[in-house]
Amino acid sequence: MSLGTYYQNLETDVLAAMRKPSTLYWVALAFSGALFAMGMGLWGYQIMTGIGASGKMHPVGWALYITNFVFWVGIAHSGTLISAVLFLFRARFRSSFNRSAEAMTVIAVMTAGLFPLIHLGRVWFFYWLMPYPNQRHLWVNFRSPLVWDVFAVSTYFTVSLIFFYTGLIPDLAVARRHATGLKRWVYRVLSLGWEGKPNQWNHYNQLYMFLAAFATPLVISVHSVVSWDFAMSVIPGWHTTIFAPYFVAGAIFSGTGMVITLVVPMRKILGLEKYITIDHFESIAKILLFTSLIVSYAYIVEFALAYYSGNVFETAHFSYRLLGDYRYFYWMMLLCNSLLPLTLFFKPLRRNLKYLFILSIFVNIGMWLERFVIIITALAHDYDPYNWGNFAPTLVDVGIDIGSFGMFFMLFLIFTKMLPVLSITEVKEHAE
Partner 1 sequence: MNKWTTPLAAISVLLVLALELAAGRSTGITLLVAMMFWASLCQGLIALAAAAELSGARWIRPIRDRVLLTYPLLLMFPALFLIFSARLDFYPWLDHGTAWLEPAFFVIRNTASLVLVAVAAHFFVRRTLAGAPGARALAVLYLLAFVVCQSLMAFDWVMSFEYPWINTLFGPYFFIEAFYLGICATALMLARATWRDRAAFQPTLKDAASLLFGFSLLWAGQLFAQYLTIWYGNIPEEVGYVYKRLAVSPLWEIAVFTLFAFFFIPFGVMVSKAAKLSPPVVGAVAVLVCLGYVLERLLFLLPDGPVHPVVLPLELALVGLPVVWATLVVRQVKTPA
Partner 2 sequence: MTREWLYHDKESFLLKLKELLAAGTPPERLTIMTPFHVHEVDHLLHLKPSPLKIFTLIGAAAGLAAGWGLTIYTSLDWPLRTGGKPIVAIPAYVIVAFELTILIGAIVTFGAFLFLGRFPVLKVITGGDATEAQFLIQEHREEDE
Binding site for partner 1 (CB under 8 A): 89, 91, 217, 220-221, 224, 228, 231-234, 239-245, 297-298, 301-302, 305-306, 308-311, 314, 345
Element (H, E) at 291: helix 278-309
Q: Residue 389, Cβ neighbours under 10 Å: how many?
A: 12
Collect all residues with Cβ–Cβ distance below 8 Å to 144 and sequence separation of at least 6: none
* Contact pattern for partner 2 over residues 138 through 167, marking x by CB under 8 A: xxxxxxx--xx--xx-xx--xx--xx--x-
State the binding partner of 245 from partner 2, partner 1, none, CB within 5 to 8 A by kind.
Answer: partner 1
Name the nearest CA neighbour of 158 among 204, 105, 209: 105
Number of residues that bind partner 2 (CB under 8 A): 62
Q: How far is the CB of 232 from partner 2 (least distance, A)?
A: 9
Q: How far is the CB of 427 from partner 1 (least distance, A)?
A: 20
d(CA 356, CA 351) in angstroms, rounded, equals 8
Among 202, 309, 343, 387, binds partner 2 (CB under 8 A): 202
State the binding partner of 174 from partner 2, partner 1, none, CB within 5 to 8 A by kind.
Answer: partner 2
Collect all residues with Cβ–Cβ distance below 8 Å to 189 and sequence separation of at least 6: none
Q: How far is the CB of 145 from partner 1 (least distance, A)?
A: 8
Are the C-beta atoms of residues 419 and 54 closer than 8 Å to each other? Answer: no
Among 42, 70, 174, 334, binds partner 2 (CB under 8 A): 174
| Nearer of residues 143 and 354 to partner 2, judged by Cβ | 143
State the binding partner of 26 from partner 1, partner 2, none, CB within 5 to 8 A by kind.
Answer: none
| Nearer of residues 38 and 294 to partner 1, judged by Cβ | 294
Among 200, 277, 315, 390, binds partner 2 (CB under 8 A): 200
Half-sphere exposure of 360 (CA within 13 A, CB side): 26
Collect all residues with Cβ–Cβ distance below 8 Å to 256 and sequence separation of at least 6: 78, 284, 287, 288, 291, 363
Q: How far is the CB of 299 from partner 2 (least distance, A)?
A: 26
What is the phi/psi pair of residue 293, to 5°?
-65, -40
d(CA 58, CA 181) in angstroms, rounded, equals 57
State the binding partner of 242 from partner 2, partner 1, none, CB within 5 to 8 A by kind.
Answer: partner 1
Collect all residues with Cβ–Cβ distance below 8 Å to 314 and sequence separation of at least 6: 236, 237, 305, 306, 307
Q: How far is the CB of 230 from partner 1 (least distance, A)?
A: 10
